[in-house]
Amino acid sequence: MILTVAWIVPLLGAVALAAFPRWSEGRARLWAAAVAALSLLALVVAWVGFDPAGPLFQHVEELRWVPSIGLAYRVGVDGIALAVATMSALIFVAAIAYPVDTLGQPRQYYAWMLFLQAMSLGVFLVLDLLLFYVFFDLTLVGMFFLIGRWGHGTPQVSALKFFLYTFAGSLLLLLAIIGLYLSIEPHSFDMRVLIERQPLAGTGLYAGLVFLALMLGFAIKTPLVPLHTWLPQAHVDAPGPASAILAGVLLKMGTYGMIRLPFAMMQETFAKYSLVVGIVALVAILYGALVALGQGNLKRRIAYTSINHMGYTVLGIAVASAIFADNQAARQLALTGATVEMVAHGLITGALFLICGSFWQRTGDYELDHYGGLAHRAPLLTGFTVLAAFASLGMPGLAGFVAEFQVFAGTFAVYPWLAVLGVLGILITAALFLGLLRRLFFGRLPSHLGGFGDLKWAEWGVLGVLSLGILVIGVAPQFLLTLIDASSALLVGGR
Amino acid sequence: MPIGDLAPEIALLVGAVVIVLFASFAPQERQAWAGGLALITLALAAGFSLMQWREPPALTFSGVWALDTAAVATKLLVLLVGAVAVLLSPDWMRSDRRHGEYYALCLFTLLGVIMMASANDSMELVVGILLSSTASYPLVAYHRGFKPALEAAMKYFLIGALTNSLLVIGVVLLFGLVGDTDYARTAQVLATAPDAAPLALSVAVACIVLGLTFKLAAFPGHAWMPDVAQGAPVPVAALLTVAPKVGAAVALARFVSLLPESQVWPVIVALIAVVTMTLGNLAALKQTDVRRLLGWSSVSQSGYALMAVVVIDVEPQALGALLAFLAAYLFANLAAFAVVTHLRGRTALADYHGLGRTQPLVTAVLILALLSLVGIPPLVGFFGKFMLFKVTIAGGYTWLAVVAAINTVLSLFYYLRVIAVTMFKPLEGEVHVLGSWSWLALLASAVLLVAASLGAKGGLALMGAVRFAG
Summarised one tens digit per residue, pLDDT across range B171-181 is 999 999 988 89
d(CA A327, CA A329): 6
Confidence of residue A101 (pLDDT cuts 50, 70, 90): confident
Is B376 within 8 Å of B411 (Cβ atoms)?
Answer: no
Closest residue in B to A179 (Cα–Cα): B393
Lowest mean pLDDT among A444-448, B30-34, B194-198: B194-198
d(CA B233, CA B102): 11
| Chain centre to alpha carbon of residue A56 | 22
Element (H, E) at A21: none
What's the pLDDT score for residue A454? 86
> Number of Cβ pairs closer than 8 Å across A and B?
73
Percent of chain A with pLDDT strictly greater than 70: 99
Residue A186: is the preceding peptide bond cis (ω within 30°)? Answer: yes
First to last CA, chain B: 20
| Chain centre to alpha carbon of residue A298 | 20
- Is the pLDDT reported for residue B21 higher than 70? yes
Question: In degrees rounded to 5, what are phi and psi of residue A270?
Answer: -60, -40
Q: How many CB atoms lie within 10 A of CB B54?
A: 8
Percent of chain B with pLDDT strictly greater than 70: 100
The answer to whether A4 contacts chain B (CB < 8 Å) is no
Q: How many CB atoms lie within 10 A of CB A247?
A: 28
C-alpha to C-alpha distances, B135 to B227, B247, B251, nearest whole angstrom: 18, 15, 19
What's the pLDDT score for residue A494? 57
Is B71 within 8 Å of B113 (Cβ atoms)?
Answer: no
Is A29 within 8 Å of A85 (Cβ atoms)?
Answer: no
* Domain regions of chain A by residue span: 1-169+227-260, 273-495
What's the pLDDT score for residue B28? 86
What's the pLDDT score for residue A198? 87
Q: Please, what's the b/e burial string for A414-427 (b: 16 or more CB within 10 A of its CB; e: otherwise)?
A: bbeebbeebeebbe
Closest residue in B to A166 (Cα–Cα): B409
d(CA B115, CA B131): 9
What's the pLDDT score for residue A372? 87
Is A350 within 8 Å of A423 (Cβ atoms)?
Answer: no
What's the pLDDT score for residue B447? 94
ipTM value: 0.85
Q: Which of A174, A205, A216, A220 to mutate to test binding with chain B, by most B CBs within 10 Å of its CB?
A: A174
Average pLDDT of every residue of chain B: 91
Average pLDDT of every residue of chain A: 91
What's the pLDDT score for residue B57? 85
Which residues on chain A are in Cβ contact (under 8 Å) with B382?
134, 137
Residues 6+ apart with CB under 8 A from A205: none
Confidence of residue A6 (pLDDT cuts 50, 70, 90): very high
The answer to whether A145 contacts chain B (CB < 8 Å) is yes
Per residue in A242-257, pLDDT (tens digit) is 999 999 999 999 999 9
Q: Which of B304, B314, B353, B416 to mutate to test binding with chain A, by most A CBs within 10 Å of its CB?
A: B416
C-alpha to C-alpha distances, A139 to A110, A135, A223, B175, B308, nearest whole angstrom: 15, 6, 16, 56, 29
Closest residue by Cα to residue B363 from B333, B332, B340:
B340
Confidence of residue B470 (pLDDT cuts 50, 70, 90): low
d(CA B122, CA A446): 83
Q: Which residues are registered as beta bridge partners of A73?
A: A63
Top-confidence residue, A203 or A221: A221
Query: Please, what is the Cα angle at B272 between B271 and B275, to 5 degrees?
Result: 85
d(CA A299, CA B274): 42
The answer to whether A71 contacts chain B (CB < 8 Å) is yes
Question: In degrees rounded to 5, what are phi and psi of residue B193?
Answer: -130, 70
Per residue in B427-438, pLDDT (tens digit) is 888 888 888 899
The answer to whether A109 contacts chain B (CB < 8 Å) is no
d(CA A265, CA A384): 41
What's the pLDDT score for residue A20? 82
Three-state SS sequence of B98-141: CHHHHHHHHHHHHHHHHHHHHECEHHHHHHHHHHHHHHHHHHHC
The answer to whether A103 contacts chain B (CB < 8 Å) is no
Confidence of residue A25 (pLDDT cuts 50, 70, 90): confident
Is A23 within 8 Å of A37 (Cβ atoms)?
Answer: no
Per residue in A127-158, pLDDT (tens digit) is 999 899 999 999 999 999 999 999 988 899 99
Element (H, E) at A194: helix A191-197
Per residue in B44-83, pLDDT (tens digit) is 999 999 998 888 888 888 888 999 999 999 999 999 999 9
In the predicted model, what is the mean pLDDT of residues A366-384? 89
Per residue in A265-294, pLDDT (tens digit) is 998 899 999 999 999 999 999 999 999 999
Residues 6+ apart with CB under 8 A from B353: B421, B422, B425, B426, B427, B428
Query: Please, what is the Cα angle at A104 between A99 and A109, to 5 degrees?
Result: 60
Residues 6+ apart with CB under 8 A from B30: none
d(CA A349, CA A249): 10
Q: How many CB atoms lie within 10 A of CB B354?
A: 18
First to last CA, chain A: 28
Lowest mean pLDDT among A84-93, A443-452, B151-160: A443-452
- Is the pLDDT reported for residue A495 higher than 60? no
Three-state SS sequence of B219-274: CCCCCHHHHHHHHCCHHHHHHHHHHHHHHHHHHHHHHHCCCCHHHCHHHHHHHHHH
